Amino acid sequence: MINALRNGDIRALSRAITLAENDVPLSDQLVNHKNGSNVVGITGAPGVGKSTLINAYINQLRADGKTVAVLCVDPSSPTSGGAFLGDRLRMSEHANDPGVFIRSLSARNHLGGLCKNIENIIKVIKFTNAWDTIILETVGAGQSEVEVAKIANCKIVVLVPGYGDEMQAMKAGILEIADILIINKSDMPGAHHSAKELKAMLRLRPKSDWDVPVLMSTATENEGICELIETVERFKVSTH
Ligand SMILES: Nc1nc2c(ncn2[C@@H]2O[C@H](COP(=O)(O)OP(=O)(O)OP(=O)(O)O)[C@@H](O)[C@H]2O)c(=O)[nH]1
Ligand SMILES: [Mg+2]
């Protein structure tokens, strides 16, 4: 399997991920492998447009000639079997692109061990050296996804105009982990107002080397995606 993974065998990758999911320990070669692929975490309340945004993100990365692996994680709701279907649907146009790998991970079979599993799964993906960017989609509704999101090098929190779900997100500490905030569905009323409010809130934070930017996007129209990718790159450079 190690050889197959090295050769970029997609079926081997799928199988190895399933093994990692099922708590099979990784071999030393996998554990010790160093690889620089950027792990980008995208989190936010249900329905804010994470999958649509990721779909647009994939489009742009592919246009730039970059490969991308996407993991869709739903740690909070063992009952929402439908969410994965939605994720798949939103990204289905990439199903036949060998430069895109999409995998849904269910929390149903994991009690508390999801983080460890995701870390191992990311190691497996990195070991192949085949994916420039790894995107991690998590539903931001509680503490466990905050933990999952910490695995990412760059954490993007997706919000929508107006304040409802956002407040929930803040309570859950989702905002605390954000490296980049993005207001999606900016075609809806109130986007600029929400951006202003968020920026005002961020100014209350202690100063740090990285000022968390507030971006805007309309994922359904591919708007704001280039700026998002540029900002992720800028963040990567600034934290190196
Ligand atoms: N108006 C508008 N609708 C959007 C935009 N982005 C996504 N949507 C719609 O919002 C709905 C939810 O989008 P998803 O991408 O599935 O959202 P999600 O955050 O991945 O949802 P879960 O995975 O279920 O948490 C879909 O009907 C999208 O078409 C946008 O920029 N503007
Ligand atoms: Mg989704």
Candidate of 166, 220, 221, 225 to mutate for ligand 1, largest count of ligand atoms within 8 Å of Cβ: 220
The H or E element that residue 87 is part of is helix 81-90
90 lines ligand 1 (CB under 6 A): yes
Q: Are 165 and 48 in contact (CB under 8 A)?
A: yes
Q: Are 39 and 136 in contact (CB under 8 A)?
A: yes
The residue among 80, 145, 71 whose CA lies nearest residue 104 is: 71
Residue that has been written with the tokens 């963040």 in this structure: 235
Q: Residue 125 corresponds to which tokens in the numbers above?
A: 């993906």
> For 74, phi and psi rounded to 5 degrees?
-130, 80
- pLDDT score of 84: 54
Q: Percent of the chain beyond pLDDT 90? A: 51
Neighbours of 26 (CB within 10 A): 18
Q: How far does the centroid of ligand 2 lie from the alpha carbon of residue 169, in Å?
A: 16
Q: Are 71 and 187 in contact (CB under 8 A)?
A: no
Q: Are 154 and 180 in contact (CB under 8 A)?
A: yes
Closest atom of ligand 1 to 55 CA is 15
The residue among 233, 115, 125, 143 whose CA lies nearest residue 179 is: 233
- The ligand that comes nearest to the alpha carbon of residue 186 is 1
Distances (CA, A) of 147 to 104, 114, 200: 18, 9, 26
Domains observed in the chain: 36-113+126-238 (3.40.50.300)
Give the tens place of pLDDT for each residue, 159-175: 999 865 556 556 556 67
- pLDDT score of 112: 53
- The ligand that comes nearest to the alpha carbon of residue 46 is 1
Candidate of 51, 79, 106, 165 to mutate for ligand 1, largest count of ligand atoms within 8 Å of Cβ: 51
49 lines ligand 1 (CB under 6 A): yes
Determine the length of the chain.
Answer: 240
The distance from CA 161 to its chain's CA centroid, rounded to whole angstroms, is 20
Give the tens place of pLDDT for each residue, 1-16: 999 999 999 999 999 9
Q: How far does the centroid of ligand 2 lie from the alpha carbon of residue 89, in Å?
A: 9
Q: What is the largest CA-CA distance in the chain?
A: 53
pLDDT of 86 strictly over 90: no
Q: Residue 100 corresponds to which tokens in the numbers above?
A: 């895109």
Give the tens place of pLDDT for each residue, 175-220: 778 999 999 999 999 999 989 888 888 888 888 889 999 999 999 9
Give the tens place of pLDDT for each residue, 23-46: 899 999 888 888 878 999 998 888
Confidence of residue 144 (pLDDT cuts 50, 70, 90): low
Q: Beta strands 68-74 and 100-106: pairing type?
A: parallel
With 0.75 as the threshold, say if the pTM is over it: yes
74 lines ligand 1 (CB under 6 A): no
Average pLDDT (99-121) is: 77
Q: Which residue has the higher pLDDT, 47 or 68?
A: 68
Closest atom of ligand 1 to 219 CA is 31
